[in-house]
Amino acid sequence: MSDQDNSANGNTNGQGTGGGDAPRKPTPAELKQQADDLLAAAAAANDDSTPEAPEEVDERSEEEKIADAMAALAAENTDLKDKLLRAAAEVENIRRRSEREKTDAGKYGATRFAQSVLAVADNLRRAIDAVPEDRKDGSDEVVKSIIEGIEMVEKSLLSAFEANGIVPLAPPVGEKFNPNLHEALFEVPGTGQPGGTIVQVVDAGYMISDRLLRPARVGVAKADDAPPAGGSVDTTA
């Protein structure tokens, strides 16, 4: 062996046993190969430990399959029909409610405004009734003109009410009190009328279409005390 070979061998042995040199790092290709080997080994172990489940076999005949499919379609059709009927009913309810609200708006739209103007009609009537009867005969031209002017204003207001479906409700004296249409403000004793009979109309009531806008304010007769049961016996001869 030559001196150069001995020298090369010495250098190689020195590099392998030297404490200062780091070990060789694997290349990226080697790392990838190691990862692929580990994944393949894991997949093989999983296939060996988990047996494949056998496929379920449909043992039904063709007629049974067709019958089951038809039953499923019939059930689905029934469900869809029920949903369709419910949706149609809901649409119809919405349509009727909208029509009712539209009708009510046309009939009763002026309710709030009318309620605020009723006091004006009351005051006009009170002004006319406050004039003594002996001053309404026309002897006093000034009073006559004032009364005529107030009556014209009242007539115009009532005409405007009527155009919006508002009509006065003035029960005649002697009519039976109706709690659905009248409001009793006081009772009057000793009238000779049956209890609950209207003896005075303080303020007229008003109807708007078929609804009560304000009840008529009235005074009613007070029921007289009933005599003792059996009455009295005349003992005079």
Mean pLDDT for all residues in the chain: 80
Residue 208 predicted with pLDDT over 50: yes
Q: In whole angstroms, what separates CA 44 from the centre of its chain? A: 66
Q: Rounded distance, CA 52 to CA 94, Å?
A: 58
Confidence of residue 21 (pLDDT cuts 50, 70, 90): low
Angle (nearest 5°) at CA 155 between 151 and 157: 115
Residue matched to tokens 């405007």: 160
CATH architecture of 111-221: Roll (2.30)
Q: What is the pLDDT of residues 156-187, one digit of tens each?
A: 999 998 888 899 998 999 999 999 999 999 99
Enumerate the domain spans of the chain.
111-221
Asked if 172 contacts 130 with a C-beta cutoff of 8 angstroms, the reply is: no
